[in-house]
Amino acid sequence: MRKTTVTIHRILGVFVGIFIIIIGLTGSILVFDKEVNPILHLHTHQVLPQGEQISLQQVGAIIQEKYPEAQLDWVTVPTQVNEPYHVLIKSLDKSKTDIYLNPYGGEVLGIYERDRPGMKIVNQLHTHLLAGKFGGFVVGLCGVMLLILSITGLMLWNGWKKLSVGFKVRWQAKQHILNYDLHKVGGVLTAVFLVLIATSGSMMVFDKPIKNFGYWITHQEQIEKPVSSFAISGKLVSLDDFLETATNAFPQGKPTVIYTPKDEKSVVRVRFKLPHEISPEGKSFVFLDQYNGDVLRVENFFQTSAMEQVKAWADALHTGSYGGLGMMGVYIVVGVVSSGLSVTGFVIWFKRKGTQRSTQRGAKVVI
């Protein structure tokens, strides 16, 4: 059994090692850029309360004045008196920019360009290996392989009988022994996180077939997304009106983000967080008609289908957002360590192959 496990671990490690290095490092960069960096900016731009806060509609007007050609994508609803408005805008070239506004005076506190050219390449490397749909499929398979590698690595760990042996790193030993110790200790320390990341990543890549299978096996039907009914109305529905209507429709939740419509059929979405939800911003929504402000649907996360809840968990588990800034920091380290495991694993395999070749040559000489 152990011999088979060793063979599986080595073969998979050699085949997907280079991909895991790429996916692991780019994943760490993306978690920092998309998840950690905005939070750091948010903390940096905390403000002192100074009277009444400006309205969401005023926020929209400020953005329209400063960036007339950009589209307002979403605005966060401050939950603390010292928290700024966090706005995301999308330019004509589809690039995204985070803007932080003082909620009391409306002045711009900071601007952060999210989709810089280098980050677009990093994102495509992580999700598609710069190879389109086929690359995305390979990334999904790598997630499955990483899951198997993590499980087989745990099975092979030599600390099950004596923990001190399993966690021992012989720093003064020869290079190949030190390399082995770093591999085993790094692997066991990150194994749980690697299982979570690999499983959730594969689920995200194969989201559509998994959801279709899930709905089929549970005999549930996918609910169609609501759409706005185009109408010429005399009244102007402001962002504040949308927020008030949504809050009245879903009083048990705390509003966190309001999303503007992207086209004439899209709806206005107000995002809510309920107690015990895994996502920091929540996964409950109120959908409103963009033309008249009517409530089209209220979606309580805990009442959605099992497949939708699984997807939400997968998203959070893949980035570490379920544990706040500290957990996302751990995920960044895990991404780097996963790349290191591929390198140390390859060194172990290469050293073993070299030893086998030397043994075979020695046997031939004796003959």
- What pTM value is reported for the model? 0.82
pLDDT for residue 367: 47
pLDDT for residue 212: 84
Local structure of residue 241 (DSSP, 8 states): H
pLDDT for residue 22: 97
| DSSP H or E run through 97 | strand 96-101
Task: Measure the CA dihedral 148/152/154/160, to 10°.
Answer: 160
Distances in Å between the alpha carbon of 129 and those of 60, 91, 104, 121?
Answer: 37, 25, 44, 9
pLDDT for residue 357: 59
* Residue type, position 223, single letter: I
Residues of the chain under the 70 pLDDT cut: 232-234, 354-367
Phi first, then psi: give them for residue 77, nearest 5 degrees. Answer: -100, 110
How is the beta sheet containing 295-299 ordered, strand by strand? 108-113, 96-101, 85-90, 71-76, 254-259, 268-273, 284-288, 295-299
- How many whole angstroms separate alpha carbon 147 and alpha carbon 12? 11
Sign of CA dihedral 133, 137, 143, 146: negative
Local structure of residue 75 (DSSP, 8 states): E
pLDDT for residue 366: 47
Q: Helices 175-205 and 306-319: crossing angle, nearest 10°?
A: 150
- How many whole angstroms separate alpha carbon 333 and alpha carbon 187? 12
Query: Look-up: residue for tokens 């200790």?
Result: 185
- How many whole angstroms separate alpha carbon 161 and alpha carbon 107? 62
- How many whole angstroms separate alpha carbon 350 and alpha carbon 345? 9
| DSSP H or E run through 251 | none
* Residue type, position 297, single letter: R
* Residue type, position 204, single letter: M
| Beta pairing class for 96-101 and 85-90 | antiparallel
Local structure of residue 35 (DSSP, 8 states): I
Local structure of residue 31 (DSSP, 8 states): I
